[in-house]
Amino acid sequence: MTQVDQSLTKIKLLNPTYPNKATGIINGESSGLLNWNDIAYPQMYDLYQTLLANFWKAQEINMQDDIKQWDNLSETEKDVFLRINTQLASLDSLQTPTMTHVMDYVTDSSFKAIFAVISQQEAVHNESYSYILSSLVPLREQNERFDQAKEDPIVRKRNQLILDSYEAFRENPTPQRLFELAINSINLEGIYFYAGFAFFYHLARQQKMLKTSTMISYIQRDEMQHAYFVSQFVRILLTENPELNTEENIQYVYQTVDKAVQLEKEWADYILKDIEGIDLDEFHGYVEYLANKRFRQIGLDNYYPERDNPMEWIHVFSDEMMNETKSDFFEQKSRTYTKVSSSNGFDEL
Amino acid sequence: MKAAIIYTSVTGNTSTLAEIICEKMNNHHIETDLIPVDEFQPQLLHNYDIVTVGTYSWDNGDLPMEMEEVFEAFEEEEVNHITTGVFGTGDSFYPYYCGAVDMFRDMLYVHTNLAVTLKVELTPQDEDLHRCEKFCDRLASELAVVS
């Protein structure tokens, strides 16, 4: 049995003879004490700070406007709204325990801390879907909708790809399976949410259910950081463990993400088919564009044809849109320059 | 005639872009220094006819902390004769795509001879190589006009 297939052992909570700065993200020596000023990958502290700066909670968003609008949605819109809501909730339900589970086998305390924050954020996402549901429909219907999500054959097929990998790691946590789990986590957080996001942002484009889409926007902002973190995790894992950095594993990434891409297209064709204004061919191109970004984030080449973002309206709301004020570098120093453009005599490429 | 590329990078996207631009500047027979931000000093600016700045953007399109010194150097030093370009990488899913490039753009327009800006999504793709070519062409042509 090669090293990549040997079970990782759960690290002890404290190992006083080991250094605080871990010698590896897996199978490393680490005291278990975390001093953020002495970590192996200092950029992880910035990432941790960014995750914390994203902090939000569902109860801060007043659902009154959406409650009033709900009855004006068409029956199709309501049905799709509830089905996507519970489907996204079930994805987040997987993610919360999986991230804490991974923590037991990661030997770098700074990474453990980040997995803990990610897990907390997934719990908030999960709550926000419940909060939206509780504002709009009675408990009986909520439960029916969750059952529907559990039973839907296309949802099950999609989830199976992720579940097989997550369960395999639970059963026998090897470096190889951790790598595969990370790739599937990118599928879940970086691909599988986007048909749902498209639907909510599409409603928002029509000024419908803006409180819900504000929450969706917060969720997307978090998920983008998660996908970024996991991609960094994958790169470091492969660099520190060259025996994982094989041609087979590179092919595994292309094949597994491609499966997720096909499943996301299939899900979109099914769930969004009656939604006017979302062009499904365009969405297929969007999912490929999205997957190309994920490949490049982990240092691989594009797998699909290179294209510009075909659905630019699927993006995180700006702070102004969310009615937030945040002090930044420029506000503190009160230095502002007039916005200039290529009409001022330079080229914008 | 000398050029400098002052850049910062976390994931390697902006440093990849900086290296591509450096190579293309050299192809234009312009001697170009590649300067990571931690080696930057304000008085360095005076050694160059062309200065390009490369930066990623943080979270909500913010300037990375380590680039503040570079930003302030352009405001404080005598740089109005310098031809500049700014490039960066970012993710268009954020509301202010490559926001730090825009911040530099607006400031450099006031204080320098700003010639060109370039935004790239994450790691450069094939099409971006052509855009890098244009970026360098534009800088080189400014130099031709001046000399």
CB distance B93–A319 less than 8 Å? no
**Strand B31-36 versus strand B2-7 pairing type:** parallel
Residue A152 Rama label (left phi>0; alpha psi -120 to 50; beta): beta
Pure H helices in chain B: 13-27, 68-76, 99-111, 126-146
One digit per residue, pLDDT tens: chain A, 349 residues? 678 999 998 888 888 899 999 999 999 999 999 999 999 999 999 899 989 999 999 999 999 999 999 999 999 999 999 999 999 998 988 899 999 999 999 999 999 999 999 999 999 999 999 999 999 999 999 999 999 999 999 999 999 999 999 999 999 999 999 999 999 999 999 999 999 999 999 999 999 999 999 999 999 999 999 999 999 999 999 999 999 999 999 999 999 999 999 999 999 999 999 999 999 999 999 999 999 999 999 999 999 999 999 999 999 987 777 654 333 444 444 457 888 888 888 999 9
CB distance B10–A46 less than 8 Å? yes
Could you give the CA distance from residue A148 to residue A138 in angstroms, rounded to a whole number? Answer: 15
CB distance B95–A317 less than 8 Å? yes
What pLDDT digit, counting tens, does each position of B94-119 carry? 888 999 999 999 999 999 999 999 99
Active site residues of A: 129
Residues of B in contact with A220 (CB under 8 A): 93
The residue assigned the tokens 């797998």 is: A303
Domain residues of chain B, as ranges? Answer: 2-142
Percent of chain B with pLDDT over 70: 97
Length in residues, chain A: 349
> Which CATH number applies to B2-142: 3.10.110.10, 3.40.50.360, 3.30.70.3280, 3.30.420.40?
3.40.50.360
A41 touches chain B (CB under 8 A): no
Domain count, chain A: 1
| Nearest-by-Cβ selection for B116 from A326, A328, A346 | A346
Q: Which long-range contacts (CB under 8 A, 24 or more apart) does A163-170 make?
A: A163/A94, A166/A94, A166/A98, A169/A101, A169/A102, A170/A101
Host domain of residue A113: 50-333
Global pTM reads 0.90
| Nearest-by-Cβ selection for B110 from A224, A337, A346 | A337
A20 lies in some domain: no
Average of per-residue pLDDT across B11-22: 95
Identify the CATH number of the domain in which residue A164 sits: 1.10.620.20
**Nearest-CA distance A43 → chain B (Å):** 7
The amino acid occupying position A210 is L
How many other C-beta atoms can be found within 10 angstroms of the C-beta atom of residue B146?
Answer: 12
A339 lies in some domain: no
pLDDT confidence of residue A323 = 59
Using an 8 Å Cβ cutoff, are A118 and A224 in contact?
no
Could you give the CA distance from residue A296 to residue B24 in angstroms, rounded to a whole number? Answer: 22
A348 lies in some domain: no
CB distance B121–A318 less than 8 Å? no
**Which contiguous run of DSSP H or E holds residue B32?**
strand B31-36
Could you give the CA distance from residue A232 to residue A38 in angstroms, rounded to a whole number? Answer: 19
Confidence of residue B27 (pLDDT cuts 50, 70, 90): very high
pLDDT score of B147 more than 90: no
